[in-house]
Amino acid sequence: MSLRIRQIVFAARDLAATVARFEAELGLRVAYRDPLVAEFGLHNALMCIGDQFLEVVSPLRDDTAASRHIARHGDASYMVILQTDDLNADRARLAALGIRVIWQSDYADMRSVHLHPKDLGAAIVSLDEATPPESWRWAGPSWQRFVSADAPREIVEVTIGAVGPDTLARRWAEVLGTPLAAGGQRIELQRGALRFTRNDRDLILGYRLARSDAAPEAQVLSICGAQFELPA
């Protein structure tokens, strides 16, 4: 089984203002706005980081899961989508572990399951299988045209804060069917990694990105409640 980081999602009160910050500070471009997220009481904008994606969702109503997340955490990381090459095996493992699925899709080109955040911790996690693997339904039909040479080229690592990082790392490894790296607070995926660190609450704290070109100094940017590390 292969897993990789394919998409990260933020929940924010003001969609336009948050997207403008990502455009200005990371050089991202909006590739797609998905009308189907209205099903969840949301509107959104999706931007490319190489062949990965950063999405911002904003509630249209007060009774949405995203609204409750913002009420608890402010504008913040909300969800991480991992691309899998064997969703059937993932579904069997999740069922055996008693993991609840809060939403799923079975399109011809995309099958996915959203996992209950209380069964995993820190975020909503989705496992998505795309056909063909290089496609990505959620980014629209022509997302490749919006990959910016001025933007970072890859999401290298997700940092997940936890009251008990060892416990949460073991839980994620069990649910994802992946081994823990040496030291017990890191999961290495086929592309990208998940790092767990101590925090006063369970929440995704930040991301390490790979630059498209060399830079003389490292940068740390704070956008939508998360830290973005861009090494030199």
134 in the same domain as 184: no
Same domain (yes/no): 164, 137: no
Residue 183 pLDDT more than 90? no
pLDDT value of position 49:
98
Please check whether residues 130 and 174 belong to one and the same domain: no
Which pLDDT band holds residue 125 (cuts at 50, 70, 90)?
Answer: very high
Residue 115 backbone zone (phi > 0: left; psi -120 to 50: alpha; other: beta): beta
What pLDDT does residue 33 have?
A: 98
pLDDT at 214 over 90: no
Q: Which residue, 93, 126, 146, sits at the end of a domain?
A: 146
Note down the domain range covering 76: 3-146
Interatomic CA distance for residues 174 and 94, integer angstroms: 9
The amino acid present at 74, given as its one-letter code, is G
* pLDDT score at 166: 97
Q: Residues 101, 194: one domain?
A: no
pLDDT confidence bin for 170, thresholds 50/70/90? very high
For the residues 46-72, what does the mean pLDDT come to?
A: 97
What mean pLDDT do residues 204-214 have? 92
Same domain, 110 and 7: yes
Domain identity same for 82 and 195 = no
CA atoms of 170 and 224, how far apart (whole Å):
27
Residue 1, pLDDT score: 80
79 φ/ψ angles, rounded to the nearest 5 degrees: -160, 150
Burial of 149 (0-12, 13-18, 19+ CB in 10 A): exposed
142 membership: H or E segment, kind and range: none
Query: What total of structural domains would you count in the chain?
Result: 2
Q: What percent of the chain has pLDDT over 70?
A: 100
